[in-house]
Amino acid sequence: MEYLNYDNMEKGIIAYHSYLNLYNTEEVLPETVCEDLNMNDLCEQVDYTSSCIGRQYLYHILCTDKVSDVAQHEQFIEKLQTDHPLRNQLVNALQKLNKPDAYSIVDILAEKEHTYSRGYLLMIQICRWLPAFFLILMFQFSSSPIPFILLLVSYIFNGYLHFKQKNILSCYYFSIPQLYKLLKTVDYLSTIPSFLSINDKVESTTRHLKALCRKLGSFRFGIALESESAMIVYLLTELINIFTLYSTINIVTSFQSIQKRKGEIEQAFRYVGFLDMLCSISFLREKLPYYCKPSNEKEGERLKADGIYHPLIKNCVSNDVSLSDKSMLITGSNMSGKTSFIRTVAINLLTAKALNTCFAKEFCIDINRRLYSVIHTEDDLVEGKSYFFKEAENVKAALEKGKEGNYLLIFDELFKGTNTMERIAINSAVFSDLAKADNLIFASTHDLELTTLLNDQYELYHFSEKVTDDKLLFDYKLKKGVAKEGNAIKILELCGYPSLIVQTAKDALCVIPSKSLIDIRL
């Protein structure tokens, strides 16, 4: 059996999310935001699922910008954390769906309906009896070659029908057996009260799917026969199937059942995925140094976070932050921690909504806030769009979303692709406009002039570093106020730039007028 390589594995994980996106894109995080937040790495970090279906479901929930149902099942998560035999029972059941083939179940959900006309269905019902009928005639009229010819013609035609349907089945060579396993797993899980409590409607779903499960069992058997060790049995089975059209009729009726029960199949898929995600959260919380559940913002506080940290940064330095009526503008030198911090806030909102879990000691925010970011922008050579043009498009999208209000907007050093004066002017206009609506904005910048222009709308914070023994030492701690110094020239010096260049840069810096003295008219 050929398993999925890494690239296909990644496609397999996102397959369910991509399938749902075809029908609903309103509540989905934009691709640019997923890239900004390193979504693939985040999913891998928080993933303790036991099945491919759970993995697909977890990815989808993380990439969906809405509050999940996890908070309603906190009691179940706590039960899994204390009742390890129960959790092991769940894990063992889910692991039956952990082969890469299980990713392909989504293909069945996404597949267009196979329609069969009444004439075709009637024809195969007639054709299934013709070889037996002509065989009887051949014995009755042994002297005549006509019954034999008719038997041969009917058998060949049945062979055509058989292999035509089998060609359709080949597209589901991996997915059909996994769908069978899914239905059997759901049937088993629904018999255990603790698991059934997550969704008591799944019990009726399994009853509706029992007949389909029995039909799919024959597919599973037929596919298992297609191996070298069972080749003789397989050939004999094929001859019988052609003669009776048993497999063909089973394929047709099974596809009809799948189409009829596609809604129930998707319910079963979501049930397994959600159960696995809850189990994954129970493992995740045990692995974290500390965590908290999100709480609603308190009166007079739009955000309060104590000990907040980034889950992807090893030994991450935590920070505290509290905002009341203003947003946050962050200054600081290169590598000081600005971008990592604003990503930290965004990721915590995301996991608060999806997993009811935050990487902090306390995280208070309106979790109904939508999320948008402009952090990582690249030019588009195919469309002939420059870096600045692409960034301008992304910021325009942020402005459109900002009009709705109740957004958490994350920006990192916007408009680096233009000159200093225009950059300051544009940023000032954009950030001022966004702050007018009920949006919570975290923006980082190197332009200290913005702190003066936006002081009324933004709380000012910064990151800083110390120079010791010709080394830059970062503490990655968020501090109130505006950054006083930069480190760009020092980095050049540490990188071994010629001393003449370094000194010339220092001298030039002393004579360049402070941009805060420049009159920027908006």
Q: 156-164: list long-range contacts, CB under 8 Å, 24+ apart.
A: 157/127, 158/127, 158/128, 158/130, 158/131, 158/242, 158/243, 158/245, 158/248, 159/242, 161/124, 161/127, 161/245, 161/248, 162/238, 162/241, 162/242, 162/245, 162/247, 162/248
pLDDT value of residue 82: 95
| Rg of the chain taking only CA atoms, in angstroms | 31
What is the DSSP secondary structure assignment for residue 25, as one 8-state letter?
-
Global pTM value? 0.83
Within this chain, do residues 248 and 337 fall inside the same structural domain, yes or no? no
Q: Residue 390 is inside which H or E element, if any?
A: helix 387-402
The Cα-based distances of 327 to 30, 140, 324, 460 in angstroms read 23, 93, 8, 9
- Residue 292 domain flag: no
pLDDT value of residue 298: 74
Helices of type H across 130-261:
130-140, 146-170, 175-189, 193-196, 202-225, 231-244, 246-260
For residue 440, the domain's CATH number is 3.40.50.300
d(CA 147, CA 139): 9
In the three-class reduction of DSSP (H, G, I as helix; E, B as strand; rest coil), residue 291 is classed as coil
List 458's β-bridge partners, or say none.
327
Q: Which of 287, 320, 335 is the last residue of a domain?
A: 287
| Each residue's pLDDT expressed in tens, for the chain with a length of 522 residues | 333 443 456 778 888 988 888 776 567 898 889 999 999 999 999 999 999 999 999 999 999 999 999 999 999 999 999 999 999 999 999 999 999 888 988 888 887 666 677 777 788 888 888 888 888 888 887 778 888 888 888 888 888 787 777 766 666 667 888 888 999 999 999 999 999 999 988 888 888 888 888 877 765 545 454 454 555 666 677 777 777 777 777 777 777 778 788 889 999 999 999 999 999 999 999 999 999 999 987 777 899 999 999 999 999 999 999 999 899 999 988 788 899 999 999 999 999 999 999 999 999 999 999 999 998 766 555 454 566 788 888 899 899 988 888 899 999 988 887 888 888 999 999 999 998 888 999 999 988 889 999 999 999 999 987 777 677 778 899 999 998 766 677 767 777 777 777 677 776 666 655 544 344 433
Who's near 66: CB < 8 A, 6+ residues apart?
27, 353
d(CA 415, CA 36): 16
Within this chain, do residues 343 and 383 fall inside the same structural domain, yes or no? yes
- Residue 201 domain flag: yes
pLDDT value of residue 25: 59
- Residue 522 domain flag: no
The number of domains in the chain is 2
In the three-class reduction of DSSP (H, G, I as helix; E, B as strand; rest coil), residue 465 is classed as strand
- Residue 293 domain flag: no
pLDDT value of residue 391: 84
Domain enclosing residue 101, as ranges? 6-287
Within this chain, do residues 65 and 190 fall inside the same structural domain, yes or no? yes
Within this chain, do residues 106 and 247 fall inside the same structural domain, yes or no? yes
Contact, 53 vs 268, CB < 8 A? Answer: no
- Residue 294 domain flag: no
Within this chain, do residues 282 and 325 fall inside the same structural domain, yes or no? no
d(CA 475, CA 461): 14
Within this chain, do residues 394 and 258 fall inside the same structural domain, yes or no? no
Q: Which of 287, 313, 333 is the last residue of a domain?
A: 287
pLDDT value of residue 521: 37
d(CA 62, CA 277): 11
pLDDT in tens, 453-512: 999 999 999 998 777 767 777 889 999 999 876 667 776 777 777 777 767 777 666 665
Within this chain, do residues 251 and 316 fall inside the same structural domain, yes or no? no
Within this chain, do residues 83 and 224 fall inside the same structural domain, yes or no? yes
Contact, 412 vs 444, CB < 8 A? Answer: yes
Within this chain, do residues 340 and 268 fall inside the same structural domain, yes or no? no
Bridge-based pairing of strands 440-445 and 327-332 is: parallel
Who's near 21: CB < 8 A, 6+ residues apart?
28
d(CA 206, CA 463): 56
- Residue 1 domain flag: no
pLDDT in tens, 3-59: 344 345 677 888 898 888 877 656 789 888 999 999 999 999 999 999 999 999 999
Contact, 508 vs 357, CB < 8 A? Answer: no
Number of other residues whose CB lies within 10 A of the CB of residue 272? 26
- Residue 159 domain flag: yes
pLDDT value of residue 242: 73
Q: Which of 287, 314, 340 is the last residue of a domain?
A: 287
- By C-alpha distance, which of 364, 367, 359, 365 is closest to 308? 359
Within this chain, do residues 30 and 82 fall inside the same structural domain, yes or no? yes
pLDDT value of residue 280: 97
- The CA-to-CA distance between both ends of the chain, in Å, stands at 65
- Residue 43 domain flag: yes
Within this chain, do residues 282 and 308 fall inside the same structural domain, yes or no? no
- Residues across the chain: 522
Within this chain, do residues 397 and 500 fall inside the same structural domain, yes or no? yes
